[in-house]
Amino acid sequence: MSKEIKQKNKTDAVNTKENKSFKNNKNGKTKKNSVKNQKKGNEFKSTKQKNVRSEGKKSVDGKKRQEKKMTKQTKKTNSYQKSSKSSNYSRITPPASNIPVKISFLGGINEVGKNMTCYEYEKSMIVVDCGLAFPESDQLGVDFVIPDFTFVERNKDILKGIIITHGHEDHIGALCYLLKKVNVPVYATLLTAGLIRGKLSEHKLDHEVEINVVKAGDEVNLGDFSVEFIKVNHSIPDAVALAIKCAAGTVIQTGDFKIDTSPIDGGIIDLSRFAELGNEGVLCLLSDSTNAEQPGYSQSESKVGETFRSLFTRAGDRRIIIATFASNIHRVQQIIDIAVQTGRKVALSGRSLENVVAIASELGYVNIPDGTLIGIDEIKKYSDDRLVIVTTGSQGEPMSALSRMASGNHRKVSISFNDCVIISARPIPGNEKTVYRVINDLLRLGADVIYEKMYDVHVSGHACQEELKLMLSLVKPKYFIPVHGEQKHLRYHARIAESVGMDYNNILITDNGYEVSLSNKNMSVSGTVAHGKVYVDGYGVGDVGTRVMKERQHLGQDGIIIITATIDGASGELLSGPEVLSKGFVYVKEAELLMKEAVALSMHVIDSFPPYSYDINAMNNKLKDEISRLMYERTKRSPMILPVLMRV
């Protein structure tokens, strides 16, 4: 059951002035945060402050105040606004206080993943989601990337809780790292809570953190906030949107969502509740922008099941291997159902997939008939026509089960001409090259590979344009902030908002690290907060910084030259060496002349320092400079130079 915290009663309402500017990090000059209306093609500037008109007037007659009444203002017509709908966006219930609610973004803006948002009102703060992002191609050796928690740590005294919208890694993957720094209650639905507990157990935090299980329709009080959970559809069960309420007004954060009228679990998004909140008055909407470029509606997850049935028939007596996201419980359930119908056993490959299915099965989200699931070690006992292998690696991750199969390094599964491989996922932006490399490797091994562009083997869990329009029309927010996407997604979503009648002055495209203040009077960027990327490499968290990353990139591009020599500690006289070693730069046997030149030059540099008055640091620096110059002159490359001088 969720933990109820009584909301504090505020006795004094403090009128705060609108922050009209913030400092530009590069030149310190003040920039206005306004969005300019252009005659053709409205442009939205991230970090631009909005000039918002007052929505309501209050009249006083003598000592007695008359009842408040909202008056509709006539909006100026522009190329994107529909005058017939503009009145819907000007109606909002006046808040009890003019003190703004502040929203700070630590991740999820202008990027895919690493979602984390902070809400602050008076002396209370809550955090929504705490996810990770997968490393980019130039982030060598990094396992994943998490947000910088400095801002949350500084405000831990007023932090009331962490609310999670659903169980995907980009929303819960960094949670354990945050809970090591600030131990506060966590609120999540049943399946999400189960996945979080599994992660807490891995980090040995399972007995130290309070997990409160909630369900759609529940409302919890957290200091000056109350948070209502609203049912939505997504590619994982138990996803919810949030209605975050305080005296400043109601903010709706959709989380990841789609509108699926025939979902696998039978639970349809609660559109009626969104409409009710819209009628009550919504201050701001933060909505998922991932599929804002995609026209129409997203397809139902049940469509994938129909495709799987036809592909199972087409596979005939071949073995079937299906790669999908570990957390896509609905898809795994459909695979199991069709495997049972066709007389096949199901084996799981990939630790994350095994863990998620075990948790989902225990909590009743997956129904696996007895005798259907077998261990990956048992696949040799069954003929190919009786097997389905479900695996991770749909994004081409180098160490995933599918990538190891494609490279021939999987200890249990060897790809052959009798395999039908189905990649049931769409590449996340940035992963296209790695995914297609895996596909090509599988094809070289003789497998028949089926992926999204060939058949409907994947549907998105994110709303497309018509669904986004419907959400905006139901909620009727006064202000709108598109979230969860790259810049192009955010801009498309902003245009969609205008197309249904929102005033462009009430739309803000922001960025990570910015604090947005919202009240009934205005929306503005009121400042910045500490934010950034923290690299996780093995057990190391944050010890790989920008400098280390640049060194790794340097090593990866040009290799390294190591110069070793032994000198007299007193006189600086060369006793042995120097020796020159090359790693990742040139093959020594094919570059003997270059190596001899490097040895001779190193000897000359060491001998150039006067006896008994040499500086070891100066000697190291000169060796670096001279050897670097030689290598660039001969090869037009600049390897890393590492002198190792031992004094005896």
- Classify the C-alpha dihedral 542-544-550-553 as positive or negative: negative
Q: What is the DSSP string of 346-382?
A: EEEESHHHHHHHHHHHHTTSS---TT-EE-GGGGGGS
DSSP lists the bridge partners of residue 284 as 251, 479
Write phi, then psi, for 182 (nearest 5 degrees): -135, 115
Annotated active-site residue 448? The verdict is: no
Q: Are 178 and 186 in contact (CB under 8 A)?
A: no
Q: What whole-number distance in Å separates Cα of residue 229 and Cα of residue 243?
A: 7
Annotated active-site residue 288? The verdict is: yes
Q: Give the residue ranges of DSSP H helices in 210-300.
A: 271-280
Q: Per the structure block, which two tokens stand in for 206?
A: 């399972």
Write phi, then psi, for 83 (nearest 5 degrees): -65, -30
Q: Give the number of other Cβ atoms within 10 Å of residue 227's Cβ.
A: 25
Distinct helix (H) and strand (E) counts, the chain: 16, 32
CA distances 208 to 121, 355, 425, 440, Å, are 27, 21, 36, 46
Q: Are 500 and 469 in contact (CB under 8 A)?
A: yes
Q: What whole-number distance in Å separates Cα of residue 295 and Cα of residue 49?
A: 29
The one-letter amino acid at 47:
T
Q: Are 114 and 108 in contact (CB under 8 A)?
A: yes
Closest by CA position to 354, among listed 310, 381, 390: 390
Closest by CA position to 148, among listed 116, 171, 187, 103: 116
DSSP lists the bridge partners of residue 431 as none
CA distances 528 to 127, 151, 236, 285, 286, Å, are 17, 10, 33, 21, 19
DSSP lists the bridge partners of residue 61 as 64
Q: Collapsing DSSP states into helix, strand and coil, what is residue 129?
A: coil
Q: What whole-number distance in Å separates Cα of residue 103 and Cα of residue 530?
A: 13
The one-letter amino acid at 80:
Y
Q: Give the number of other Cβ atoms within 10 Å of residue 643's Cβ.
A: 21
Q: Are 129 and 255 in contact (CB under 8 A)?
A: yes
Q: How are beta strands 249-253 and 240-246 bridged, if at all?
A: antiparallel
The one-letter amino acid at 44:
F
The one-letter amino acid at 619:
M
For Cα atoms 98, 101, 470, give the angle at the middle one, nearest 5 degrees.
105
514's CB contacts (< 8 A; 6+ apart) are 47, 104, 105, 525, 527, 528, 529
Residue with tokens 């970090």: 47
Q: What is the DSSP string of 451-477?
A: -TTTSS----SS--HHHHHHHHHHH-E
Question: Choosing from 148, 224, 288, 419, which is the catalytic residue?
Answer: 288
Q: What whole-number distance in Å separates Cα of residue 155 and Cα of residue 137?
A: 34
For Cα atoms 246, 58, 249, give the angle at the middle one, nearest 5 degrees.
10
The one-letter amino acid at 508:
L
**381: exposed, middle or buried (C-beta count within 10 Å: 0-12, 13-18, 19+)?**
exposed
Question: Choosing from 462, 484, 493, 531, which is the catalytic residue?
Answer: 462
Catalytic residue annotation: 288, 462
